[in-house]
Amino acid sequence: MTRTEQEFEKEIKCCRDIYEKKTRDYGTSWRILRLPSLTDQIFIKANRIRSIEETGENKIGDDVRGEYIAMVNYAVIALIQQELMSGEHGAESEERLELPLERAMELYDKHLGRTVRLMLDKNHDYGEAWRQMRVSSMTDLILMKLKRIKQIEDNNGKTLVSEGVEGGYMDIVNYSLFCLIRLGEPQP
């Protein structure tokens, strides 16, 4: 296993643990959210990080690391929601909204696994360029991906030559994981 794979595994374990604990606390209440609402929730987190990066002020005290973890989990939830909604029609019932913990974890692992495989392929081709990037630049890239996703959502999912929202969510997961890794490194 490469260094990057080990670092990803460590951060994924942390994100997965929080997702599981929140699912135990709240169930799958997030199933009520439409994809644009999930996109906006991720935007709120990324925008807060950028604000803290620009001002150096953090008045509520929650650390930035927690926001990146939340972005990983909300983006995975968006991928899950996209899959589940594509197979459902009509109004949602309470029973269809609530997933058993085992199913919620299975779907999380499935989508995160696909996303990490994409990262490993891209990381190979790009030569781990992310290690030379500033965390603030990756925050900007996440915000750019969100603007693209919002535009695609506003266009009812139609694109001419661009990847759909799924690729954007996957990139957000991977950039957020890169940021978590970089935040854990000694700072100069």
pLDDT score of 83? 93
**CA atoms within 13 A of residue 47's CA, in its CB half-sphere:** 8
Q: Which two tokens stand for residue 117?
A: 């495989």
pLDDT score of 185? 83
Q: How confident is the model at residue 188 (pLDDT cuts 50, 70, 90)?
A: low
Report, as an integer, the average pLDDT of 95-119.
92
- Of 46 and 96, the structure prediction assigns the larger pLDDT to 46
| Across 11-15, 61-65, 85-89, 97-101, least confident range | 85-89
Q: Please tell me whether the overall predicted TM-score, pTM, comes out greater than 0.85 for this model.
A: yes
Residue 86 — φ and ψ, nearest 5°?
-70, -20
pLDDT score of 175? 96
pLDDT digits (tens, 9 = 90+) for 116-139: 999 989 888 988 899 999 999 999
Residue 94 pLDDT more than 80? Answer: no
Three-state DSSP string of 124-158: HHHCCHHHHCCHHHHHHHHHHHHHHHHHHHHCCCC
pLDDT score of 90? 44
Q: Which two tokens stand for residue 148?
A: 């693209």
- Please name the residue ranges forming H helices in 27-92: 35-55, 64-86
